[in-house]
Amino acid sequence: MSIQTPTSPERGDFIREIVAADVRAGRTETVVTRFPPEPNGYLHIGHAKSICLNFGIANEFGGRCHLRFDDTNPEKEEQEFIDAIEADVRWLGFDWGEHLHFASDYFEQLYAWAVDLVRAGLAYVDDLSADEIREHRGTLTEPGMNSPWRERPIEESLDLFARMRAGEFPNGTRVLRARIDMAAPNINLRDPVLYRIVHAAHPRTGDAWCVYPTYDFAHGQSDAIEGVTHSICTLEFEIHRPLYDWFIENLPVPSRPRQYEFARLYLTYTVLSKRVLLRLVNEGHVRGWDDPRMPTISGLRRRGFPAEGIRDFAAMIGVAKSDSVVEVGMLEHAARDVLNRTAARRFAVLDPLRVVIEDYPEGQVEEMEVANNPEDPSAGMRKVPFTREVWIEREDFMEEPPAKFFRLAPGREVRLRSAYFVTCREVVKDAAGEILELRCTHDPATRGGSAPDGRRPKATLHWISAGHAMPAEVRLYDYLFSRPDPGADGRDLFADLNPDSETVLQGALVEPALADVPAGETVQFERLGYFTPDPDSTSGHLVFNRTLTLRDTWARLQAQGRHDTA
RNA sequence: UGGCGCGUGGCCCAACGGUAAGGCACCUGACUCUGGAUCAGGGGAUUUCAGGUUCGAAUCCUGACGCGCCAGCCA
């Protein structure tokens, strides 16, 4: 069950208002929704919006939400996707209880209803080819033409349909069509196809069938069978609603579901098209469906995004009917908000620079007490070893610091977090001028990180004892696409791929406590951002993925070129 | 030129005839042992446009314009 951000059922989005009104008017006793993925790919953040909507409504109204796979096209669907989808929905925090369903569970009933339609003169077997059907369909502005088989005797259609099921005909030779109106302005009503012949093994029903219902014929009836009261889908199905209703009205279904449509999610710097995601995976642009750069649920999980942050994001963006593009920044905000509250703080140095504290006793090791999470005192403290030689971040030192650079510089004193104040006395370089190490001194009176005389350095740095540091690989991630609107204006989508979306750092060093971060946990590397162990990580070779950076005023100033080198 | 939808600050979204709310982003200040977080404040909207109804319109009506979706035996 989720901890959805509370929304007043009376004053939520337009769908919640409809549900609330239906409940109030007694049109439904129990609210039943469903999340209906086709198992032909992995779930992405757009699906998360739908999942949160459907399960959220069911939870809020004390109803239930089914997980139903729309598995009516065996040529594209796979068990792998079914398994991954179940795992992703569960990870997001939702529970379908006993209600795991498949459209394929209803194939027999659906077939029987198709036969009913034929008997009623409302459907017929058409011998036209796919091309001929298209030619007969007409265009957006011209009506279609009736198929020559439209008036074929009911008995003949019945016989042919039975033989289609029996496997007597090859793919594409015949279809079952509804008999509605070839001149309907809504093209979906121009005798839509109900059944097609597909000789292919189905992940669930194997080769029990060689005729499969289309989405239009399967979806609403599946809803009706399950007692779904509110069938919520995205806008592109709006035009299908008259057909959805037509089936419900012309078939002896056990309940009367209603379809409602909302705008699907679009995100800047992101592509949410299964077709494109599939290509990114198949063409090797990413490490797989769960690549940390992918907008898939599994990718976000591997990246270290908390499920709660994704739920919060869904609540934040709302539900409406106008097409819109949400800034990824909102997703990031939602994730940071959760992570700031919950992530344990740790020290890690991505690009190490050696600091020798000349006046610190050689061989001495002090266990410094460091807060695990200043936002959450209950997270407690940990001990971090401090010695004469420590690593700091190379970018935390500048030999000739510009005006607004507050960190370490020659002669300047800074705080090593929860340890000591140190002052840079000397910069040691090699023949090429590359900085090898910094020679510093410390103030013993500042042990623990604060000075008795109350002086306060402008900067606090994270650090790692040289003798205790553990090597780690760190993978830095940026947007997969370098433009907010990938592929817009006719550009090739793949030309918009960000060449720097992944940067692998091999020389990072982390504090000992980072050796055993459990999989699935995201921690904060102080001052750097949030990181999570990658599945590739082993005790012998630590690997961390950067989930997000922290908000960084200095970086922003630099990017704006607002600092001068004075 | 057919049908179905949709147009509210940079972005998302509310307002249900009574005079534009909130979030994200942005800017400023305070505070700070993370240049993080937090707190306080700020800028920014003649609600696509034009008519009409009304004492009063983002809300209702008409028209225009713009955008999205539909001509799979995909979902």
Residues in chain A: 566
A61, two tokens: 């109204």
| Interatomic distance A238 CA / B21 C1' (Å) | 30
pLDDT, tens digit, 9 for 90 and up, residues A488-538: 988 999 999 999 999 999 999 999 999 999 999 999 999 999 999 999 999
pLDDT at A60: 97
- Between CA A231 and CA A342 the distance in angstroms is 36
Percent of chain A with pLDDT over 90: 95
Residue nearest to nucleotide B23 (CA to C1'): A316
Chain A 475-514, CB < 7 Å to strand B: none
**Strand B close to A552 by CB, under 7 A:** yes
- Closest nucleotide to A212: CA versus each C1': B73
pLDDT band at A179 (very low <50, low <70, confident <90, very high): very high
pLDDT at A415: 98
Q: Angle between the A215-226 and A241-250 helix axes, to the nearest 10 degrees?
A: 60
pLDDT at A349: 98
Percent of chain A with pLDDT over 70: 97
Q: Is the pLDDT of residue A564 over 60?
A: no
CB A232 within 8 A of CB A292: no
Chain A 58-87, CB < 7 Å to strand B: 70, 72-73, 76
pLDDT at A558: 85
Q: Is the pLDDT of residue A156 over 80?
A: yes
Q: Is the pLDDT of residue A6 over 80?
A: no
> Phi/psi at A466 (nearest 5 deg)?
-60, -40
For A215-284, the DSSP string reads HHHHHHHHHHHHT-SEEEEEGGGGGGHHHHHHHHHHS--SS--EEEEEPPEEETT----HHHHHHHHHTT
| Interatomic distance A171 CA / B14 C1' (Å) | 52
CB A387 within 8 A of CB A466: yes
- Closest nucleotide to A316: CA versus each C1': B23
Chain A 100-159, CB < 7 Å to strand B: 128-130, 133-134, 137-141
The residue-averaged pLDDT of A273-281 equals 95
Residue A412 annotated as catalytic: no
CB within 8 Å of A429: residues ≥ 6 apart: A435, A436
A288, two tokens: 């797989």
pLDDT at A9: 44
CB A175 within 8 A of CB A169: no
Nucleotides of B under 7 A from a protein CB: 1-8, 10-16, 22-27, 33-38, 67-75
What b-and-e string marks burial along A253-285, b requiring 16 or more CB atoms within 10 Å of the CB?
Answer: beebbbbbbbbbbebbbbbbebeebeebbeeee
pLDDT at A399: 96
CB atoms within 10 A of CB A396: 22
CB A215 within 8 A of CB A37: no
Helical H runs in A77-139?
79-91, 107-119, 130-136
| Interatomic distance A562 CA / B43 C1' (Å) | 20
The residue-averaged pLDDT of A165-178 equals 98
**CB-side neighbour CA atoms (13 Å) of A359:** 12
pLDDT band at A2 (very low <50, low <70, confident <90, very high): very low
The residue-averaged pLDDT of A427-440 equals 97
pLDDT at A489: 87
User: Tokens 């898939």 sit at which residue?
Assistant: A296
| Interatomic distance A266 CA / B19 C1' (Å) | 34
Chain A 16-35, CB < 7 Å to strand B: 17
- Average pLDDT over chain A, rounded to an integer: 95
Element (H, E) at A436: strand A435-443
- Between CA A137 and CA A146 the distance in angstroms is 8
**Strand B close to A406 by CB, under 7 A:** yes
| Interatomic distance A321 CA / B52 C1' (Å) | 27
- CA-to-CA dists, residue A489 to A37, A113, A327, A481, A485, angstroms: 30, 46, 19, 15, 9
> Phi/psi at A163 (nearest 5 deg)?
-75, -30
pLDDT, tens digit, 9 for 90 and up, residues A325-374: 999 999 999 999 999 999 999 999 999 999 999 999 999 999 999 999 99
pLDDT, tens digit, 9 for 90 and up, residues A64-83: 999 999 999 999 999 999 99
pLDDT at A334: 98
Q: Is the pLDDT of residue A566 over 60?
A: no
- CA-to-CA dists, residue A303 to A47, A328, A479, A536, A548, angstroms: 18, 15, 12, 12, 9
- Between CA A292 and CA A540 the distance in angstroms is 22
Beta bridge partners of A311: none
Residue A413 annotated as catalytic: no
Q: Is the pLDDT of residue A5 over 50?
A: no
CB A15 within 8 A of CB A319: yes
CB A197 within 8 A of CB A171: yes
pLDDT at A561: 67
| Interatomic distance A552 CA / B41 C1' (Å) | 22
Residue A249 annotated as catalytic: no
- CA-to-CA dists, residue A480 to A289, A490, A520, angstroms: 13, 19, 22
At A260, the amino acid letter reads Y
**Strand B close to A442 by CB, under 7 A:** no
pLDDT, tens digit, 9 for 90 and up, residues A140-151: 999 999 999 999
Q: Which of A150, A152, A264, A394 is catalytic?
A: A264
pLDDT at A559: 79
CB within 8 Å of A89: residues ≥ 6 apart: A35, A43, A51, A67, A96
Instruction: Report if pTM > 0.90.
Output: yes
- Between CA A78 and CA A321 the distance in angstroms is 32
pLDDT band at A277 (very low <50, low <70, confident <90, very high): very high
